[in-house]
Structure formats: C-alpha cells, structure tokens
Copies of this chain bind each other. A is one copy, B any other.
Amino acid sequence: MAGKRTIGDTEASTSVKTSRRSDPARVESRRHQILDAAAACFRRHGFRGASMSELSACAGMSTGHIYHYFKSKEAIVEAIVERCQQQGLALIESLKGADDILQTMVAKVGSAMTEMAKTADPGLVLEILAEASRNPVVAEIVRSKEATILRSLEEVLAAGQRQGTIDPAYHVPSLARLLSALFDGLSLHRAVSPDLDLGAINPLHQELLRRFLSPKA
C-alpha cells in the first residue's frame, strides 16, 4: 500500500507530505483530531463495535493515515486514557511545592471536581474500563496509567506527612488508593447522574479530607 502512487503524487509532493507530517504542531493536531473522533466512536458504538475502519470513517481519514499516527487501536486507547488523566495529574503535581499540602489540596479539590465535570467524559472512561475488564492489553494500559497517578499522589501524601500536615500514621499507598477511589467514584456517579449537585457535595468532600488527613491533635 505504501508503495502505491496516484497520478501527480511525485517525489516532490511526497517530500512535502513527509515534512508536513513531521511538523510537531501538525502531528499534535492530527493526533488530537484522531483521538476526538475515536472517543466519539467508542462512545457511540462501544469499544468492540468500533473497528479501525469505523474509526477511519469517524475521523474522516484513511486507516493508513491513522496508522501513521497510532500503531494500533490499543495505542489510541492509551492516548485517550492519558488525555483523560491529564487534569487529575496536573492537580496532583500542582500540590507538590505547597507550603501546606493538606490545605492546598482542600482548597483545590472542589474546583478540580467542578472543572473536571465540565470537560471530562465519564461515559468514555467507563467504556474503556469495561473493555479493560475483558481485554488484558487494555487492562495493562489502564493499570499502568493508574499507577502513574497513584505514584504521584503517594509522593504528595508522603511530602505532606514529612511537613506535618498529613497524619504520619497512615500507610501511604493505601491512602493514595482510597483518595483516588473516592475521586473516581464521584466521577462514576456523575456519569450516571449528570445533574449531580457538586455545589453541595464539594464542601463535604473538603471536610472529609480535612478531618481524615489532619494529624490527630
């Protein structure tokens, strides 16, 4: 297929294509275009129902073109999961330099939930998680991305323990798991009940973090 040339597809035009394809901004924008189309496609047809040719129709690109940017459907899933986690990871990373990690976490968690409610697509996340429970390759992708979040959260929590704002009695990996489960559970509930009243829940979420994480007086 790669060797096939249409009329007018001279060496010169091929070299233009190559340089366009390797322009980082253009590559990035193409990748985003494919990920948006794939996300919509997974949501509509389910992961199983969305074949590479279906994806190609959604994205308005040939499958060959898609393969230029992503080597497989799994590579697309990996990039989607990464994109879904970006906000959460950025929130965690932003806590790392804080003078009072607990207070900063409490201050930021409400707006982070509200922000995520605006931009994230919990239905897409569920679709990928459902596939992960069935498909070992997707499971490994999800686990490895989740491990990145958990590691980063563990670093923040351990730093909080060292600075004395987070109770040092807690086992850090379990604590990270519990807090991230709470966050993910709320996203899950929002997927089922999009009208979830975050305005009422956020203050309780903050109070939970304050009471649970503070060192015992």
- Give chain A's interface residues, CB within 8 Å of chain B: 43-49, 122-123, 126-127, 129-134, 139, 142-143, 146, 170-171, 173-175, 177-178, 180-186, 188-189, 191-193, 196-197, 200-201, 204-205, 207-208, 211-212
Contact = CB atoms under 8 A, between A and B. Distances in A.
Contacts of A182: 178, 181-182, 185
Nearest to A123: B133
Contact of A130 (B126, B142, B173): B126
Nearest to A45: B48
A198 to B, nearest CB: 10
B126 A122 contact: no
Number of copies: 2
A178 B192 contact: no
Nearest to A128: B130
B132 A192 contact: yes
Nearest to A199: B174
A113 to B, nearest CB: 11
A201 to B, nearest CB: 5
Given A174-B197, A188-B188, 20 more contacts: A45-B48, A46-B47, A46-B49, A46-B134, A49-B49, A122-B133, A126-B129, A126-B133, A127-B130, A127-B133, A129-B188, A129-B191, A132-B191, A170-B204, A171-B204, A174-B201, A175-B204, A178-B208, A184-B188, A211-B212
B185 A188 contact: yes
A182 to B, nearest CB: 5
A130 B130 contact: yes
Given A43-B134, A185-B182, A212-B211, A174 B200 contact: yes
Nearest to A190: B181
A69 to B, nearest CB: 26
Contact of A185 (B46, B131, B184): B184
A180 B175 contact: no
